[in-house]
Amino acid sequence: MQSRFWSTYRDGLLIFIRATAGARRNAFAGLYCDPDGKMSLKIAIQAQPEKGKANKAIIQFLAKRLGVAKSQLQLHSGQTDRMKTLYTTCHDQQFLTSLERLYEEVK
């Protein structure tokens, strides 16, 4: 079982997301653990899942919360799926502290 919604990957981190598009407001909605034990951060986003709008909104929402530029988060997989993986090379101590705080807030 994975204990966090992120893991190390090559020279950065993967962040696992379970997205719900078309929500009333943008919000973190807790954690999701799939049957294999993989943990994901649940994000509700107002944008609709058309033409990449929801993906862009997720990146913008998460980047703002973590205090990084949008350009530092890239969609790694899940373009048209609700289960998404973001990749970042940003893994300094301040960023990891922000991830830990977010984890404590939503668990």
pLDDT tens for 70-92 read: 999 999 999 999 999 999 999 89
| Average pLDDT score, the chain | 95
Q: Is 100 helix (H, G, I), strand (E, B) or coil?
A: helix
pLDDT of residue 20: 97
- Confidence at residue 91, expressed as pLDDT on a 0 to 100 scale: 82
Q: Grade residue 3 by pLDDT with cuts at 50, 70 and 90.
A: confident
Taking CA 18 as the corner, what is the angle to CA 56 and CA 105, rounded to the nearest 5 degrees?
95
The single residue listed with the structure tokens 């649940």 is 42
The answer to the question of residue 102 being in a domain is yes
**CATH number (domain holding residue 67):** 3.30.1200.10
Read off the pLDDT of residues 7-31 as tens digits, 9 standing for 90 and up. Answer: 999 899 999 999 999 999 999 999 9
Domain for residue 95, yes or no?
Answer: yes
Q: State the Cα–Cα distance between residues 83 and 68, nearest whole angstrom.
A: 22
* Number of domains forming the structure of the chain: 1
Q: What is the pLDDT of residues 49-67, one digit of tens each?
A: 999 999 999 999 999 999 9
1 found inside a domain: no
Q: Give the structural domain span for 70.
A: 6-106
Angle between helix 93-106 and 53-66 (nearest 10): 110
The reported pLDDT for the residue numbered 1 is: 60
